[in-house]
């Protein structure tokens, strides 16, 4: 809980401390890349880091990595993954401005579920069931990336993803596939 509060305070202070001079779009136009992370993921126990490399004035490639360890009730999830994205900037000012993009990601998930086996009224046994699987996703997105104060990057994106994967715990198969939202947020450093 305290980690969530600390991360929330950092995000709020960062946004509020953005004075008028700092928040104006930077005049620099020759950035070669951006390194960013999603601070909101830290609230739930996940870390996501992106490296965006400008390929031309209108495009950039993004390599991402993700790690998470999330517990919820009887569930424990550990995730490790990465992906590759391509961004096409509308105004030919990569890495800032409006962009359209697509990404492909792979994610390894290890899940544990704690169950209780009741063989009779006096015998209750705790059991842990676990499985691991590899998931894939393809996403389409639209977003906007600001670069303020010459180097501070803020990236917001939204779109749609298609997920493919399945977990098997005990006798149950849990398909985790289909269409879902894509939401992106990042804070970083442009250089």
CATH number for 166: 2.40.160
Residue 1's pLDDT band, with cuts at 50, 70 and 90, is low
Residue 5's pLDDT band, with cuts at 50, 70 and 90, is low
- DSSP letters, 27-93, are S-----EEEEE-TTHHHHTEEEEEEEEEEETTEEEEEEEEEEEEEETTEEEEEEEEEEEEEEETTS-
Mean pLDDT in the chain? 85
Q: Is residue 23 part of a domain?
A: no
* Structural domain harbouring 98: 2-15+32-188
Q: pTM of this prediction?
A: 0.78
Using the predicted structure, report yes or no on whether residue 65 has a pLDDT greater than 60.
yes
Considering its fold, how many domains does the chain have in total? 1
Q: Is residue 21 part of a domain?
A: no
The mean-pLDDT minimum among 53-57, 79-83, 116-120, 126-130 falls in 116-120
């Amino acid at each position: 809980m305290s980690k969530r509060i600390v991360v929330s305070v950092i995000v709020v202070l960062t946004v509020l401390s953005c004075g008028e001079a700092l928040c104006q779009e930077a005049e620099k136009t020759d950035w070669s890349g951006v390194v960013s992370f999603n601070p909101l993921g830290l609230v739930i126990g996940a870390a996501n880091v992106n490296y965006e490399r400008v390929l031309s004035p209108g495009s950039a490639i993004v390599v991402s990595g993700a790690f998470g360890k999330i517990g919820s009730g009887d569930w424990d999830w550990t995730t490790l993954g990465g992906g590759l994205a391509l961004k096409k900037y509308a105004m030919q000012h990569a890495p800032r401005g409006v962009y359209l993009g697509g990404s492909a990601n792979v994610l390894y998930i290890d899940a544990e579920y704690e169950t209780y086996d009741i063989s009779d009224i006096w015998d209750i046994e705790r059991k842990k069931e676990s499985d691991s699987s590899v998931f894939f996703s393809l996403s389409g997105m639209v977003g906007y990336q600001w670069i303020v104060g010459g180097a501070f990057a803020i990236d917001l994106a939204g779109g749609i993803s298609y997920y493919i994967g399945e977990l098997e715990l005990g006798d149950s198969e849990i398909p985790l596939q289909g269409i879902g939202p894509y939401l992106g947020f990042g804070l970083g450093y442009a250089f």
